[in-house]
Amino acid sequence: MINSRKLRQVSNLDLKLLKTFIAVVQAGSFTGAESLLNLSRSAISIYISDLEKRLGMKLCNRGRAGFSLTLEGQKVYEAAQKLMYATDVFQEEVNNTYAVLKGELNIGIIDNLVTIPHRTISNALAKLKHISSEIRINIRMSNPADISLALLEGELDVGVMPSLQPIDGLRLHSLYSETSALYCSNAHPLFSSPDDLQTIAQHSAVLPIYAEQMNQPQLFDQLNVTATSNDREGVAFLILTHEYIGFLPEHYATRWVEKGEMRALLPDMLKYQTDIYVVTRQSQRNKRVLDVFLNALVDKLVIAD
């Protein structure tokens, strides 16, 4: 049994151990945290044991029953997150005092926006790089739900995604719209047949997992949905099995359409538009790097509170 005692000073080693602990909790297991930390399971176990000894308390249960936090572990986890947040704030405020722009930009983007011809995001990131070589850009490709959560929890500074539903605490900046059409592959029975809605509705279709939040019931309810995907690349994979039809952004599907590997079905009828937004926290703390990035997009932005 670990004896409880007071922690008198937080050292660099403590910060390292706490970061390891946070990663384990977020991954849900020692094994899950291996790839996040680039450490072996045995090394992670040693770090957690050292932290428990340092704090004088048991933080988690691990074994055949799985990983779980103790009551003390939950409190330490919450306190550690606050500490890391405060450390980040301190670092950003110090970076903001430099004449040369320094710091990080953590940005979350939904998949396959890179094929949009005007490259608004790439151009803004290029401008940021030209302003200063002391900026570290971290891009996370994810789905809208995960991007929203990461923004609210402070893991991301800015997101680029469709707005599926209003979310308290987030601010939307309208960027552009994209059009999506219903596609089949060149080996699908519909590729060479006349377009007919009743026939199309008989074939298996794939939709995004967030389709219910997209407010397209009159369109999606007509399809025989037998598969879902959490991103557009997954939809493309299933279309290319020649067994499914699915919606893809026109700019993304162009590569296959031009090669004759896909075609749009009833393109004048079976299509919809999606508004893409730049999303930030309403209570965003002062961060010069983010401000510069948003200013680089200013010609395209229309703030929508």
Domain spans of the chain, in order of start: 12-89, 177-275
CA distance 292 to 125: 10
Separation of CA 46 from chain center: 31
CA distance 243 to 246: 10
Q: What's the pLDDT at 298?
A: 64
- Closest to 206 in 3D by CA, of 250, 255, 240, 156: 240
Q: What's the pLDDT at 296?
A: 80
Q: What percent of the chain lies above the pLDDT cut of 70?
A: 88
| Residues of the chain predicted below pLDDT 70 | 1-9, 92-100, 164, 166, 212-213, 284-286, 298-305
CA distance 298 to 305: 16
For the chain, the average pLDDT equals 84
User: Which residues have CB under 8 Å from 282's CB, separation 6+?
Assistant: 169, 170, 171
- Please state the pTM of the whole predicted model: 0.60
Question: Residues of 24-45 as b/e, b for ≥16 C-beta within 10 angstroms?
Answer: bbebeebeebbeebebeeeebe
The CATH class given to the 12-89 domain equals mainly alpha
- Write the CATH number of the domain with boundaries 177-275: 3.40.190.10
Q: What's the pLDDT at 29?
A: 87
Q: What's the pLDDT at 303?
A: 41
Q: What's the pLDDT at 121?
A: 86
CA distance 191 to 245: 10
> Tokens 């072996």, residue?
40
CA distance 54 to 21: 13
Q: What's the pLDDT at 5?
A: 58
